[in-house]
A and B are shown apart, each in its own frame.
Chain A
Amino acid sequence: MNQKDIFKEQLKSVFSNFEAPVPHDGWEKIEQSLNVVARAKIVRRNWYIGSAAATVAILLGSLFFLKSPQTIEQNLSTLTEKTTLDKIKSTDKQDVKVAKVEPAMEYKKSRQPKLARQKQEILVAKQTGRSESPIISNVTEQAPENIVIAEQPEEKKIQATEERKTQPEGKKAVQPNQEEIDRLIQEFENAGKTDIFRGLTVGKSKNKPLMLALNAKGGLRSSQKTVVNSPMTLRSASVEKSDENTNKDFYLGDLGNNLSAVSGNAALMNTLSVADNVAEKEHDQPVSFGITVSKNIVDRFSVEVGLVYTYLFSRAKNTSVDFQNQETQYFHYLGIPLNINYNFLNFGKLGLYTSFGGMIEKDIYGKKQYQAQITNELLNGMSKEWTIEKISQENPQISVNAGVGAYYPIYGGFNLYGKIGGSYYFDAKNTEKTIYTDKKIVFDLNAGIRFDF
């Protein structure tokens, strides 16, 4: 056994069975902390479950709302009530059957004129009972889209009455075959009500009822830089609050504390000059990626929610004759945006819209790297320090934004879109300085791909 081993073994043997007295209230404190941890765990779990349930409920609710037959009926009844009876009553000579389907046809004509004509003919045929018409058989094979009469039995009765009143005697129709009509109605009912809804909504505006978008966002400038002679750091909020702190404290920040602790040399602190300091602080523009879902609320208006990830990077540098320090920090943020979009103009396929809303963001991870170098005779040379630490912000960041954008369909339901706008960031009273705290208004460019369901 060599001397190294002997030394090691001696020390090990001295401490081998070493047991130190523990604090008398040690267990009580641990138990309290465990209770706090357990409560926090329950709260966190409930929060996760609640969030998941809310998300699922929103998704299911959206889908249900889109697919709900009741919604379709409401849409259809609104359309037909407004048009059919008014037109019937307004003119005696007008053909009731054509008047009834006219509004629906108006919406459909722009995109599907052939289908619209077919449906018109179906309805006419149904009213007159010409079930053997070749048009009827043709349409039933093609999974018809409209079922106005099938959905509106009451209206049908009124219509029939009106029809009898306005029917010229010479043109008296053949009595309809009830079985044939019922069969047709059933077939039309089974043909899918969604298509009706979709067709009508698209006809009203170019916005689809639900849109999923993947987007990326970046600032219009590459960075925001400040150069001054007074000292600057990325963490000066606590120092700024204290009037008693001198510029030197402000200037040294963590370095001063660490050096004092390590060297215990108070004289060193007094010899550092800040008079010739040059300070630079720079925030890179935020870069964001996200996924959003939009839902049409009324014609041309849609509400948009989603999840957005943002990366923030900042650096600060102080340089003087005998001192130099540099801080860099980055943050990963997750945010939930809530925007209202208004589609105000269409040029052919190109659509223009404006957007306004807000976002709440919270950092999920952050890191700061601190480097400092001091040249001083009292230290007989140069000292260097390098610290890396995890950082986090105390409060969530709230902002409001507005912008104007355009979208253009590229393939199927896919649209390219871009938006230029700006955001105002409210003061969240956070310690770590970011572009959000130093530059209240940030202009940005947003681009992405949107899918219309």
Chain B
Amino acid sequence: MIVACKKQNRNAQKALYELFAPKMMAVCLRYCKDNETARDLLHDGFLQVFTQIGSYSGKGSFEGWLRKIFVNLALENYRQEKKKVEFLNDYGKDETIFLDTPEDDYLDVGDIPRQELLNIIHEMPEGYRTVFNLVIFEDIPHKEIASMLGITENASRSQYFRAKTLLQNKVQSMLKKKYL
């Protein structure tokens, strides 16, 4: 199928799209603030996949290669829209909280429906959401994230912390509602 896609065979491209589109849509939804933006990202991502598929050497997982394209595109969109938006007073607060608070509290998200978690991720500010995704799902260290997004390592840690706190608060509130 990949070989046929490299030859720009439309049927093969369609088959590949139908096979991977749901998974890639899930990736897009995690990085975007709403469904509409995610759909645009899915479209642009597959367009890039089909135009650049010739560069896939066959080494490594094809799904991994595909996923990397979508993540990079999401980051590129993020960079284009706002290379860096910092509210200095909030940023200062972040630093303080980050330094004074234990790095991680236990958070049980297993009982929360996936759609609810996705909604919380959507509600996060764009910077938080991006860093959160990169830390949790891509396993990228803060130093590298800082380099990718053009921010400091502390800013990356801070944004991740705030994203996680936001998620924690929402989850706790949901759990309270559920068990009360």
B117→A14 contact, CB < 8 A: yes
Q: Does A172 contact B (CB under 8 A)?
A: no
**Which residues from chain B contact A4 at a C-beta distance below 8 Å?**
103-104
**Which residues from chain B contact A386 at a C-beta distance below 8 Å?**
83-86
Chain A residue nearest to B38 (CB atoms) is: A20
Q: Can you list 25 residue pairs at the A/B interface with Cβ under 8 Å?
A: A3-B106, A6-B106, A7-B107, A7-B164, A12-B136, A14-B112, A18-B23, A18-B26, A18-B114, A19-B22, A20-B28, A22-B21, A23-B42, A26-B43, A31-B14, A33-B43, A34-B8, A34-B47, A37-B47, A263-B87, A382-B89, A383-B87, A385-B86, A386-B84, A386-B85
B42→A15 contact, CB < 8 A: no
The list of the 10 closest CB pairs from A to B, nearest first, reads A381-B89, A19-B22, A20-B25, A4-B104, A18-B26, A22-B21, A20-B26, A3-B106, A386-B84, A388-B83
A23→B39 contact, CB < 8 A: yes
Q: Does A410 contact B (CB under 8 A)?
A: no
**Which residues from chain A contact B125 at a C-beta distance below 8 Å?**
262
Chain A residue nearest to B14 (CB atoms) is: A27
Q: Which of B41-69 contact A (CB under 8 A)?
A: 42-43, 46-47, 50-51
A11→B87 contact, CB < 8 A: no
B82→A384 contact, CB < 8 A: no
A26→B17 contact, CB < 8 A: yes
Partner pick for B114 among A15, A21, A388, CB 8 A cutoff = A15
Chain B residue nearest to A382 (CB atoms) is: B88
A7→B89 contact, CB < 8 A: no
Q: Does B30 contact A (CB under 8 A)?
A: yes
How many residues does chain A have at the interface if contact means C-beta atoms less than 8 Å apart? 42
**Which residues from chain B contact A26 at a C-beta distance below 8 Å?**
17, 21, 39, 42-43
Q: Does A10 contact B (CB under 8 A)?
A: yes
Q: Within the assembled complex, what's the spacing in Å between the Cα atoms of A21 and B51?
A: 24
**Which residues from chain A contact B164 at a C-beta distance below 8 Å?**
7
A379→B106 contact, CB < 8 A: no
Given A15-B26, A15-B114, A258-B82, CB of A7 within 8 Å of CB of B21? no
Q: Which of B91-146 contact A (CB under 8 A)?
A: 103-110, 112, 114, 117, 125, 135-137
How many residues does chain B have at the interface if contact means C-beta atoms less than 8 Å apart? 47
A385→B85 contact, CB < 8 A: yes
Chain A residue nearest to B102 (CB atoms) is: A3
**Which residues from chain A contact B23 at a C-beta distance below 8 Å?**
18-19
Q: Does B7 contact A (CB under 8 A)?
A: no
A3→B25 contact, CB < 8 A: no
Q: Does A89 contact B (CB under 8 A)?
A: no
A-B contact count (CB 8 A): 123
Q: Does A132 contact B (CB under 8 A)?
A: no
Given A4-B103, A385-B85, CB of A33 within 8 Å of CB of B109? no
Q: Does B71 contact A (CB under 8 A)?
A: no
Given A18-B114, A19-B22, CB of A30 within 8 Å of CB of B85? no
**Which residues from chain B contact A3 at a C-beta distance below 8 Å?**
104-107
Q: Within the assembled complex, what's the spacing in Å between the Cα atoms of A379 and B90?
A: 10
Q: Does A244 contact B (CB under 8 A)?
A: no
Given A15-B137, A21-B25, A388-B83, CB of A7 within 8 Å of CB of B109? yes
Partner pick for A37 among B42, B51, B103, CB 8 A cutoff = B51
Closest-CB distance, A267 to chain B (whole angstroms): 16
Q: Within the assembled complex, what's the spacing in Å between the Cα atoms of A153 and B78?
A: 80
**Which residues from chain A contact B84 at a C-beta distance below 8 Å?**
385-387
Given A19-B26, A20-B26, A262-B125, CB of A10 within 8 Å of CB of B88? no
**Which residues from chain B contact A29 at a C-beta distance below 8 Å?**
43
Partner pick for A387 among B18, B22, B38, B82, CB 8 A cutoff = B82
Q: Does B10 contact A (CB under 8 A)?
A: yes
Q: Does B29 contact A (CB under 8 A)?
A: yes
